[in-house]
C-alpha cells in the first residue's frame, strides 16, 4: 500500500494532509525518511510520524451523506459511485452496509467489516431505518394505521413487517422500517395509491446522519458509534 493511503487510513489525516507531512520530512518507513507519496508500505514495515508509530487500525467504518445520482455499488459503467466520494480512502476492501437507491439521499454506512455490516442489515436484527418521505399526494392518518399493520407487496407476495409512520406535513412524514426489501418504501407508498417524490434516510438504529456533513461529505465513525451495532 502507498504511504499516503496507509497513513490516511490509520490516522485523522487526509491524503492531502499526508502529502504535506511528507514534504515536511516528518514521515519515516523503517527509519528511512520518506520523500515520495508513492513509497510502499509492506506488512512488516514500521511507519512513524514525528517519531510516533502509526499502527494499522484494522477494520474501517464511515458514514456518508449520500447525494442523489450516486450508485451504492462498487462498479457500474453508467453512473457515478458512492465510493468516488471517498476521495482520501483506499476503497478496495470497503462495501456498503445497506444500499440506497440512485435517487435516494441521506445516511449511508460503509465499512470493511462484513460481520458488522451483517448486524446492520440483517432482518433478524430488526434494526430500524428511518426515512423522510415526500409524497406526490397528501398523507393521512390511515397511512399510520396501514403501515403499522403491514402493507401487502404483490410482487413479493408478502406483507411487510409493522412500520412506524409519523406525519410531519401534508405530503411528508417519517417512516421507520425494520427490513430492507427492494425499493421497499416506494413500493409501500405505491400499494396505498401514492408515489414517493423524495426519499432521504435520516438514521439507522440509534445512529443519525451527522447534520454537519453536507451532501457528498463523509467521516469515520467513532468507536461509540461502531458499538451501536
Q: Which residues are catalytic?
A: 101
Q: Residue 221 — φ and ψ, nearest 5°?
A: -75, 150
229 closest CA partner among 97, 96, 120, 107? 120
126 closest CA partner among 177, 72, 200, 189? 177
Q: Residue 211 — φ and ψ, nearest 5°?
A: -70, -5
Amino acid at each position: 500500500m502507498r504511504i499516503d493511503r496507509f497513513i490516511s487510513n490509520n490516522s485523522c489525516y487526509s491524503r492531502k494532509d499526508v502529502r504535506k507531512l511528507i514534504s515536511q520530512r516528518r514521515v519515516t518507513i523503517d527509519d528511512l525518511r520518506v520523500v515520495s507519496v508513492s513509497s510502499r508500505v509492506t506488512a512488516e514495515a514500521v511507519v512513524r510520524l514525528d517519531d510516533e508509530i502509526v499502527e494499522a487500525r484494522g477494520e474501517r467504518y464511515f458514514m456518508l451523506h449520500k447525494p442523489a445520482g450516486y450508485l451504492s455499488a462498487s462498479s457500474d459503467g453508467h453512473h457515478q459511485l458512492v465510493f468516488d466520494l471517498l476521495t482520501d480512502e483506499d476503497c478496495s476492501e470497503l462495501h456498503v452496509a445497506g444500499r440506497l437507491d440512485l435517487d435516494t439521499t441521506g445516511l449511508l454506512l460503509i465499512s470493511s467489516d462484513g460481520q458488522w455490516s451483517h448486524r446492520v442489515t440483517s432482518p433478524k436484527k430488526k434494526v430500524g431505518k428511518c426515512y423522510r418521505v415526500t409524497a406526490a399526494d397528501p398523507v393521512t392518518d390511515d397511512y399510520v394505521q396501514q403501515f403499522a399493520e403491514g402493507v401487502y407487496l404483490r410482487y413479493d407476495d408478502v406483507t411487510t413487517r409493522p412500520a412506524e409512520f409519523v406525519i410531519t406535513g401534508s405530503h411528508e412524514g417519517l417512516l421507520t422500517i425494520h427490513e430492507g426489501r427492494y425499493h421497499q418504501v416506494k413500493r409501500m407508498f405505491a400499494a396505498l395509491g401514492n408515489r414517493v417524490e423524495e426519499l432521504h434516510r435520516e438514521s439507522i438504529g440509534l445512529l443519525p446522519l451527522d447534520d454537519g456533513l453536507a451532501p457528498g461529505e463523509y467521516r469515520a465513525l467513532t468507536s461509540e458509534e461502531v458499538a451501536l451495532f
